[in-house]
Amino acid sequence: DSVLQTLALIQRHAAEPQRVAALARRQERDLRGWLYGDRPLGDEGGSLAAALSAAAADIEELHGVRIELASAGDCPVDEAVRAVVLAAREAMANAAKFAQVDVIDVYAEATDEEVAVFVRDRGVGFDRSTVPADRRGLLESIERRLERAGGRATVVSAPDEGTEVELRVPRSPS
């Protein structure tokens, strides 16, 4: 059913190439998840790759950007991994809203020891000291979320040089 619904939406939005591309990419992710048995974020048995894919699809649809997602390794979603996924989603949303780019790159790696996710844009970048105090997404939604999960977030950015957000949490013992 979802494939038919997506095709109908594509037909209805044929004059909007970014919208059509976002719909097609979401459907591709859904089909890959179905083919490979992944589950989306919110399902306790889901995987890191599936959760990031769902988050990327949401940001693509909401903001009309393309997110290139690559991963090495995978793991189940526990509380620490959920924190990384939610922080990565916030980093993707920030890039989509502020970087003035069409493409955002996301790389995830899961090893036995840790989970690392990198969100990178080649956009306008920013000087952290000039971010208004009322824009708390970086501090609250990314850095503090990872600290509470026992991990860390590193943000590297400069005007005209883009931004890279590195997110790391240790893996829970199985």
The type of residue at 84 is: V
Domain boundaries, the chain: 63-170
- Indicate the burial class of 100 (C-beta count within 10 angstroms; 0-12, 13-18, 19 or more): exposed
Enumerate the β-bridge partners of residue 110: 115
Instruction: Please give the distance of CA 5 from its chain centroid, rounded to a whole number.
Output: 24
How far is residue 125's CA from residue 173's CA, in Å, rounded to a whole number?
A: 37
The type of residue at 14 is: A
Instruction: Please give the distance of CA 115 from its chain centroid, rounded to a whole number.
Output: 14
Per-residue pLDDT of the chain in tens (174 residues, 90 and over written 9): 566 666 776 777 778 787 777 777 777 766 666 555 554 444 434 899 989 988 998 898 888 889 999 999 999 999 999 999 999 999 999 999 999 999 999 999 999 999 999 999 999 999 888 877 776 666 677 998 999 999 999 999 999 999 999 999 999 876
User: How far, CA to CA in Å, does 130 sit from each of 125, 134, 161?
Assistant: 12, 12, 16
Answering whether pTM is above 0.95, one says no
How far is residue 59's CA from residue 8's CA, in Å, rounded to a whole number?
A: 21
Tokens of 53: 């894919």
- Considering only the top CATH level, what class is 63-170? alpha beta
How far is residue 42's CA from residue 97's CA, in Å, rounded to a whole number?
A: 24
